[in-house]
Amino acid sequence: MSSPIRLLHLDSSARPGTSETSRHGSHTRRLSARFVRRWLEHAPDAQVVYRDIGAEPPSPVDGPWVHAAFTPPAQREPWMHDRLAQSDGLIDELLAADVIVAGVPMYNFGMPAQFKAYIDNIVRVGRTFGFDRSRTGEPYWPLLAGMNKRLVILSSRGDFGYCPGQRIAHMNHVEGGVATAFGYIGISDVASVAIEYDEFADDRLRASIASAENEVDALVARMAGAAVEAA
């Protein structure tokens, strides 16, 4: 009998609450909550781990962190293990997950600083990617490749036209930035949905929200349905 699917639910918006319950609530929290809720409707036995990066961001990487991370584990001093403890916990959550559901709003054309701090803590030599100077060819390799993990990026932006081929696609560094970092450690199965027109606050925003929610529902139906069949 196969194990239940494990979801890692991440929110990184600085806004508390969701836009469906609060005028100033978060669109990405709205979409990520909907994704998890719909998944549980398809697979009630799924396990969910939630981390609110927006409210409680990881500590940013600093000099001592880098020193500790690049010191071989057997040679680390006690303070090094302490400095890496938070990173270890975040990586353990990631390793345990089958599906990573990440609410990542666009802040000034990129991901929030909170989510960048998360990425800097999980992209770590020896734990999520390997490095060997003497290795023939590419000295880096992903350690999570082949684990069949899937990433879902749920975003929002104030303007519109950020999708590939649209008017300001070149200014969108959210989905590409997040997918590149996760792909580097071996998670390359990526899907994304986004809400636009937030700053316009008119019928176009309402239509974009409705469209994104429909996309989320369809995405969950495909992903959860396939997971249930595979089980």
Binding residues for FMN: 13, 106-109
Binding site as annotated, residues: 13, 106-109
Query: What secondary structure does DSSP assign to 137-190, as a single string?
Result: S-SEEESSTTS--EEEEEEE-SSS--STTSTTGGG--SHHHHHHHHHHTT--EE
**Does residue 163 contact residue 169 with C-beta atoms inside 8 Å?**
yes
Residues sharing a CB contact under 8 Å with residue 54, sequence separation 6 or more, in sequence order? 11, 12, 13, 14, 15, 26, 112, 114
8-state DSSP, 5: P
